[in-house]
Amino acid sequence: MKTPRGLQPLLDDGVIDEVLHRLQSGKEAEIFVIRRGYTVCCAKVYKDVDHRGFHRLAEYQEGRRARGSRDARAMNRRSKRGNKVQESQWKNAEVSALYRLAEAGVRVPEPMGVFDGVLLMERVVDADGDTAPQLGQVTMTAEQAREWYACLVGEIVRMLCAGVIHGDLSEYNVLLDANGPVIIDLPQAVDAAGNNNAFRMLARDVNNLRATFGRFAPELLATEYAREIWALYEAGTLTPDAILTGEFTVEEHAADVDAVLDQIEEARLEAEARQRGREEAEGDH
């Protein structure tokens, strides 16, 4: 295949040896399968900020600080320099989150370094050695749905204990390898302690997965893991091995409003996720 422009410097410098094929093309980045010596892995080439389609950017950037006052002013003015700083922060957020979460034992692709702005990482494969499918591509039994949902709730807890919230978790950025779910795509990851939207994002992640698995195991739709997890986090008692019940009682006066907002948000997110999946599928053809 023709070498992508973003990967040519890595070939020239001997960082990678061969570009095998494009694996995925999304709104924020393209993923290529590459070879480094005898190792086959993935390279993530980020698209320029002007060509990205990700929405709600300001919501995710809250809490991310520019290194100096000059950079901060440039970002506020949305100058050319500010856009470059913003672009750097966007890429660094995923790299930082991957290393942080891998260290915490979260099931994410193993990061292998960043070269000329390109992230190299483990290629997630299934039991046959083929590229692992997205969760949204798999039909599951009710038992599998319960098992995988419990696994992902546990991973979300482990992430939060490491101070990270995914922020855009859905059936399209969870892969299923031979041992279960693997969480991918983290450029929008946020610092739980530094973002005022942290609970909303956590709830969105949890409830989006709840809707996905609830299609196969309807009883999961009645669970309230997001509120339970956040209550433990706010109380300072959340641990990676916390025993959760999926039950949470909210105050009566807030229940109706919250329920309506949750339903609206879940419907919107599911529509967004499906649209994103269609766009990414179209980009692969």
Cβ-Cβ contacts under 8 Å for 79 (sequence gap 6 or more) = none
Residue 219, token pair as written in the block: 């009883």
136: closest CA among 285, 272, 283? Answer: 272
The active-site residue, picked from 168, 177, 191, 205, is 168
The count of other CB atoms within 10 Å of the CB of residue 54 is 16
The active-site residue, picked from 71, 126, 128, 185, is 185
258 labelled catalytic: no
Question: What separation in angstroms does the CA of 126 have from each of 161, 183, 257?
Answer: 28, 14, 42
- Residue 46 identity (one-letter amino acid): Y
3-state SS assignment for residue 62: coil
3-state SS assignment for residue 53: coil
128 labelled catalytic: no
Cα 253 to Cα 97: distance, rounded to the nearest angstrom: 37
Please state whether 199 falls in left (phi above 0), alpha (psi between -120 and 50) or beta. Answer: alpha
Residue 8, token pair as written in the block: 């040519």
| Residues belonging to the active site | 168, 185
